[in-house]
Amino acid sequence: MAPIAPGGLFAAVTRHFQNPRAAEEARLSVSTEDGEAPVPLSPAEAREALYGPAAVPALVSSIWQEALGAARAETAPGGPWRLLVIWLALPQLTGTVRRISTRLGVDRSDVESEMALALLEGLRSGEHGPPPPVRTWLGAARSSAWRLARAGLREIPSTLAEDIADDDRTAPDGSAADPCEREDFALEVLRPERSGPHAPLRFRIASQQVRKEVLGKLTGHLEARPGSYRVAPCDRKRQIGTLTLRRRARQA
């Protein structure tokens, strides 16, 4: 298992299960093949049974089946089981995180967040059927992280559209260049009122979309002929959250 970098989502999940109370809430009851009573396992004991030197294949299969089944059945947003399956999967993911960040220069926290999101999406696929095969489930998370990293190589951070909007030379004649006087939209992201693992929220925009934004700012400030610029519809991607846009209040 490759070391976990501090400050990322994987480190936050690890710290979560170092809390005795959190560990107690995520105890598994694992059945054995010989028909004996189910064996209670703490998160640490389950992880040792999965990756320790004395790992038993039959017990490994039972642990994953029980953990994935509990995670798929969980409906409470603050429940322990989805975090548990992510924590149990970390030893099989940290090596890929290190390779991606080293080879492609991608922030490890971005890779870890993408993997965790893919793991959670994998739990929702075929919700009414049996849990997904562990190898397939983990492989999908690795593939999603590689795709994110390769897509990031084609993205270049840019503030060009904002710079044009704030430039006095591009303001219409007879209007103030004060940004507070324009009817811009402000983006407000509310932090959840609960403790627990969290990760940075970042916004990316493709270079093609940056060019569209620049054209939009130019046509708006230079009073170009109406209809000379239209925003293309956004491609539908998977939804990972909801953002609220509100119009910025004017100063008195």
What is the pLDDT, as a whole number, of residue 107? 86
Q: Which residues pair with 185 in a beta bridge?
A: 247
Is 252 part of any domain?
Answer: no
Is 2 part of any domain?
Answer: no
Both 117 and 22 in a single domain? yes
Both 48 and 123 in a single domain? yes
Cα–Cα dist 146/165, whole Å: 35
Both 18 and 104 in a single domain? yes
Cα–Cα dist 64/69, whole Å: 8
Residue bearing the bigger pLDDT, 184 or 19: 19
Report the candidate in 150, 154, 146, 148 with the shortest Cα–Cα distance to residue 95: 146
Both 21 and 116 in a single domain? yes
pLDDT in tens, 12-23: 899 999 999 988
What is the pLDDT, as a whole number, of residue 224? 42
What is the pLDDT, as a whole number, of residue 251? 52
Both 99 and 203 in a single domain? no
Both 32 and 129 in a single domain? yes
pLDDT in tens, 219-243: 554 444 444 334 444 444 555 555 5
Both 124 and 238 in a single domain? no
The structure's pTM equals 0.62
Q: Domain of 196?
A: 160-247
Structural domains of the chain, count: 2
